[in-house]
Amino acid sequence: MIKFFRRIRKQLLSENKFNKYLLYAIGEIILVVIGILIALQINNWNEERLENNREKITVQNLNTEFQENLRDLDSINTILHRTILATETIFGKFKEDNLQETDPIDSLLHHVIESPSWKPSEFVLNDLQNSGGLSKLNNPELKILLFNWSRFFKELQETMDQTEKTNINLIEYIREHGSLRNIDTKSKTFPYGPSQLKMNNSSLLQNIQFENYIDDKLYVLKESEVAYAQARTLIQKILKEATID
């Protein structure tokens, strides 16, 4: 093809047909420009196709990550509700006169000192944020939801940290004024009998400081319950938008 054009140029020049050569040269330039524009357009189409494929993979990965987070949340919620119920029951016993029910108290405290803490995965979302891909998502609703999730997660982290702190305080108090061993016997993984020392955890229910620790724990647990409900709603919205048809 190139030899063909060269032969035409040579022939026109040899015949002194400058005007025709000039028109030919302009036509050749136009053809080259058109060829370049077509190549650029094809390249743009290809890049756009690759970018769309990358976004589909990212959205699918987000969907998988948040599906797993939702399953973990439902599992943690089961423990959370059990812990709240046990803590509420203990909380109500501070006004009782009869505090000699040792075994029920130990069983309840076994669940009270559980620390249901939800730690959702953010690997895909963090990678998307660090690469600047979050702002490039074509779905504006999904983009807003993910931004909201990042902000919400920071607040949730504070709640979970507070839950852990109140639990540590509670265990430390029982360690000093009660019997952790008697509580641990209620665990299936603790193959030992109760303490042989004269220690009755029901006596803890006569102490105002212990009541305050229980109060702190219950307060934060109820906050966690609200936060987890909000998290579930937000995850469901994200999953709805992060669905590939």
> Do residues 137 and 143 make contact, with C-beta atoms less than 8 angstroms apart?
yes
Express as a percent the part of the chain with pLDDT over 70. 79
Question: Residue 236 pLDDT more than 90?
Answer: yes
Tell me the whole-structure pTM to 2 decimals.
Answer: 0.76
Question: Residue 239 pLDDT more than 60?
Answer: yes
Question: Residue 202 pLDDT more than 60?
Answer: yes
**Interatomic CA distance for residues 92 and 99, integer angstroms:** 12
Residue from 128, 129, 118 nearest 153 by CA: 118
Express as a percent the part of the chain with pLDDT over 90. 43
For 203-225, the pLDDT digits (tens) are 898 889 999 999 999 999 999 99
Residue 177 has a pLDDT of: 93
The terminus-to-terminus CA distance of the chain in angstroms comes to 46
Mean pLDDT for the chain? 83
Least confident of 41-45, 95-99, 148-152, 229-233: 95-99
For 98-111, the pLDDT digits (tens) are 555 556 889 999 99
> Tell me, what DSSP letter sits at residue 120?
-
For 17-37, the pLDDT digits (tens) are 545 545 555 666 776 777 777
Q: What is the mean pLDDT of residues 170-177?
A: 94
Residue 144 has a pLDDT of: 92
For 60-69, the pLDDT digits (tens) are 999 999 999 9
Place of tokens 């020392």: 197
> Tell me, what DSSP letter sits at residue 134?
G
> Tell me, what DSSP letter sits at residue 197?
S
**Interatomic CA distance for residues 45 and 50, integer angstroms:** 9
Amino acid symbol at 102:
T
The DSSP code sequence of 164-177 is HHHHHHHHHHHHHH
For 40-88, the pLDDT digits (tens) are 777 667 666 667 678 788 889 999 999 999 999 999 999 999 999 999 9
> Do residues 201 and 183 make contact, with C-beta atoms less than 8 angstroms apart?
yes
Residue 103 has a pLDDT of: 63
Residue from 114, 101, 116, 106 nearest 186 by CA: 106
Question: Residue 8 pLDDT more than 80?
Answer: no
**Interatomic CA distance for residues 172 and 21, integer angstroms:** 97
Residue 23 has a pLDDT of: 57
Residue 21 has a pLDDT of: 47
